[in-house]
Every structure is written in structure tokens, then in C-alpha cells.
Amino acid sequence: MEMKLPGTWQGRLAAVLFPVLVVALVIFSLPQPADAARGGRLGGGSFAPRSLPRSGSSGFGGSNAVRGGGYGLGGGGFGFPFIVPFFGFGGGGLLGMLMLFAVVGLLINGFRGAMTGAGTMGSQNDAMAERDGPVTIAQVQIGLLASARQLQQDLRQLAATADTATATGLQRLLQDVTLALLRNPEYWVYGNGEVGQVGFPVAEATFNRLSMTERSKLDAETTINVAGQRSSGDAGQHSAASEYIAVTLLVASRSAVRLPKLTTASDLGTALRLLGSVPSGDLLSLEVIWQPDGNEDVLTSTELVTLYPQLQAL
């Protein structure tokens, strides 16, 4: 049911100003990376609708673009209900952001309907959302002791060799990253897992906002392999003063992913195995972000809990 407002000049003004206020809210709600360390980033993907052909038989192309229409704050298709929470929400970052954009979507639809009576556009977007189904977005964050040096080397090696431009390559990368983490259980100290569902038309925008939130926690990205584009800086050996390594996995999948609440190391191992088992045909996008990655960079316990407040002791 769409909210109908009178077509007054006040309603039109609100419809114009409201998206600007939303964007400002999102920007100023991002964490401040003043004390962050340099980090690395792996991933890629495409949110092309299931029924539309992709540009290649197995490739993603160079960007996470929705073919056949733009979906975001500026145009088209915020539906409601916007999210369907799964068991495993910790009540923190991902849940809060999904709920924020659920409310934003509802209000923007109402303002747009007040100005244009966009019943046709709404029905088209509803049809597309039903055709493509919901998208599950899962986020797992891990705080490890900084002595897990081999993990950092493994991630840098994957950045140099992984194929992030195809669906099969991206799924292989997801498996390799989860396996690298599973091989280091003695270093796991903190963890958090959250998962929810969004409608397909807004899945890319939601995923990108979550990615930007995590990337903003880095002072710089020195090791990158995203959608086939690689870059490697001078990471060197990390200072002995480094106390922790933080790793974030962000996955968008057509299939449902149900994570346990992460209270023990065993729960974290289960969550990693569940993420690693997402098939390539369902994996829409992947982000792996870690810090520190730079020469003599430090991530202290204070910085860890400030940048990753949802982490819980395992």
C-alpha cells in the first residue's frame, strides 16, 4: 500500500529535499578513519537481473552495474517491506543500516507518489522484484591476534592471483578466503555475524553502502584485486606493535544464508563454512576487507573496538 500525500507545494518541496537529507545522514554516519591503518580489499560481482543476459558468458564486467535500469535514491523502486531479518542479527551495524534504508525507501515512495502518482512505476518495480527474488546480504567480521601473519600473506597472495572478474573465480576466492580463516582458529578473538534480505532492485545500492562503510575504516587500500583490477603497494613486514587483524566478509547471494549467532569459536567456524558454500550461480557480489596491510601499520585494541563496535568476544 502506497502512502498518498496531498499534491501541495509543501509536499513537492519535501520530495525534493528529503533525498538530500538522507544522503547527508548516510555520509555523516560513516565511521571516521582518523586512526585507521592501511588495508586490503578483494572482491567483485554483478547485480544483473536473472532474466537479462550479462555482457559475457561468465564474466561480471568492470563494475557492479544493474543492467536495464538504475535503482537507488535517485530513481526507481524502493519497496516495502524492504528487509526480512534472519536469525543471526546482532542488533548492530548491518541490521541498523538495512532498517534505515527500509524507512528511507518507504518515505521516498510516499513522496514520489505524492508528486507523480507513480503507480505504474511501482507496479513495474514490484514485478521485477518478484521475478528476481530477494537478495541475502551477509556480513561476518573477525578480530584476530596480530600474530596471524600467515593470514595476511595468504590474503596478499590471493590479491595477486585470484580471478575476480568471473562468477567461478569469485566463488573460488570466497572459498579460499574462508579456508584461510578456518586454518587460523587459534588466533580468533572476536567475531560478529549479521544477515538479512533486501529486494533485488535495491540490493546493489545496499551492498555498496555497506562496502563503503567498511572501506571508510581504512586509512588507505594498499592491496586490491576487485573485478579484475589489481594494485599492490609496499606492505612489508608489520610492526611488532600491531595487536590485531580485522577481516570483514560481505556477501550478496540469491540463495538464503542463515548464520548462527557468533558467541563461540565453533559458531564462527560454522558461519565461515556456510559462507564458503554459496554456489557461484547464486553469488552476486563479494567484498573481503582487512587491516592492517601496510608497512608497520598498527591496529590496537582501542582502535579495533572503536572501528568494529559490533565485535563480541569468542
Cα 102 to Cα 77, 84, 108, 184, distances in angstroms: 12, 10, 10, 37
CA–CA separation, 59 vs 261, rounded Å? 34
For the entire predicted model, the pTM comes to: 0.71
Three-class SS of residue 281? coil
Q: Lowest mean pLDDT of 59-68, 114-123, 189-198, 289-298, name the range.
A: 59-68
Question: What band does 271 get if pLDDT is binned at 50, 70 and 90?
Answer: very high
Question: What band does 101 get if pLDDT is binned at 50, 70 and 90?
Answer: low
pLDDT the model gives residue 55: 47
**18 touches 289 (CB < 8 A):** no
**140 touches 273 (CB < 8 A):** no
Torsion of CA 74, 76, 81, 82, to 10 degrees: -50
Residue 57: pLDDT above 60?
A: no
CA–CA separation, 49 vs 284, rounded Å? 10
Task: Give the best-scoring range by mean pLDDT among 39-53, 59-73, 132-146, 172-186.
Answer: 172-186
CA–CA separation, 64 vs 287, rounded Å? 12
CA–CA separation, 34 vs 102, rounded Å? 30
- Mean of all residue pLDDT scores within the chain: 74
